[in-house]
Amino acid sequence: MAPDAVDLRSDTVTKPTAAMYARMATAPLGDDGLDGDPTVVELEAFAAEVLGKEAGLFVASCTMANLLATLTQAARGEQILLEAESHMYMAERGAATFTGVFHAPVQGTLGAMDLDLLRSALPGGSSKLRTAMIALETSHNNASGAVLPLEHMAAVRQLADEWGVTIHLDGARLFNAAEHLHVAPGAIAAYADTVSLCLSKGLSAPVGAILAGGRPIIDEARRFRRMIGGQQRQAGIVAAAGIEAISVMGHRLGEDHARAQKLSFLLNTLSPHLSATIPQTNIVQVDVSTTGHEPKVWAAELAKEGVYVRPWAKERLRCVTHRHISDDDIQHTYDAFRLVAMRLPPRAMAKL
């Protein structure tokens, strides 16, 4: 990929900022598995405070944070309920092969589970699986970065309380949701017992994620983290970047959202051949099915113009804005789409 390529594949491609490198170079370090790494300890306390929880745990990835949330809140032979297109269902349900916890999908709209379907799934039905936890996701990756309305989260909280089950919030992009709703991240996490946060997406840290929740759950998660090989040593070197990510990087996400909106607007002027979702946050999905060319063909042609996107399902491309995407890059992306649209003559769509 050329250095001036426009990389819209994901916000995970973001590199650390200069301020992160500076913090990393001077962070006090220790053995986090022995008597604690002071920088990790600081990050965990700071993240917990920002997320409005008692305690935090620094982990290698958001996938690991979600796995620990499941291990601490559901037992073998129980089920967790989650939206059918959620990341925890689509991309992480292989965890069941270790946890023995069944992932039961509930259909939803724009990432929000249908509340009637959720209510009827809670008792476990003829499966006789006891429901231990409900998992929510905001912003919702597959729903093109849609943000759960707080009213929806409150309604799910009420159902969870009625049934005595916990709620885990997959908040990989929680700061994007907070930016969209103009509330603090903690105001969203307040509806959940545990919350995960990815530090290495739009927040630009090189690696890492946080799981936050009540102290007993986080103590237990720390125990499980050790069992799955997630305990690290001088992890402060990366936790230092995480502190920078949480303290300053959330403030600029509005720029990414504005550029995603601009991109969506421009691409929709190319219709009827393309149809872009209107984003609430930083993810735009572009339906190319009416062009009669597959997403992977579009992605390959766009790459020739220096624009990298990801084929998403059978009909879509996914474009994610982030810190390395400028206004000029949005214009360049639009130009590339226009060129490729001219190069790929419209075809009748093959029946899928």
Ligand X SMILES: *Cc1c(COP(=O)(O)O)cnc(C)c1O
**What burial class does residue 273 get, using C-beta atoms within 10 Å of its C-beta: 0-12 exposed, 13-18 middle, 19+ buried?**
middle
Closest CB to ligand X among 43 and 172?
A: 172
Degrees (nearest 5) of the Cα angle 319, 347, 333?
25
> What are the Cα distances from residue 94, in Å, to 12, 63, 293?
22, 11, 32
CB of 292 to ligand X, least distance (A): 30
Closest CB to ligand X among 198 and 221?
A: 198
CB of 59 to ligand X, least distance (A): 9
Q: Which residues make up the interface to ligand X (CB under 6 A)?
A: 61-63, 87, 137, 141, 170, 172, 198, 209
CB of 210 to ligand X, least distance (A): 11
Tokens 């789409």, residue? 337
CB of 63 to ligand X, least distance (A): 3
Degrees (nearest 5) of the Cα angle 44, 45, 48?
85
Closest CB to ligand X among 53 and 293?
A: 53
The total number of residues shown for the chain amounts to 352
Closest CB to ligand X among 169 and 274?
A: 169
Q: Is the dihedral of CA 256, 261, 263, 264 positive or negative?
A: positive
- Looking at residue 345, its amino acid is P
CB of 256 to ligand X, least distance (A): 14
CB of 138 to ligand X, least distance (A): 9
Closest CB to ligand X among 212 and 274?
A: 212
Local structure of 272: helix, strand or coil: coil
Closest CB to ligand X among 209 and 243?
A: 209
- Looking at residue 8, its amino acid is L
Q: Is the dihedral of CA 111, 114, 118, 119 positive or negative?
A: positive
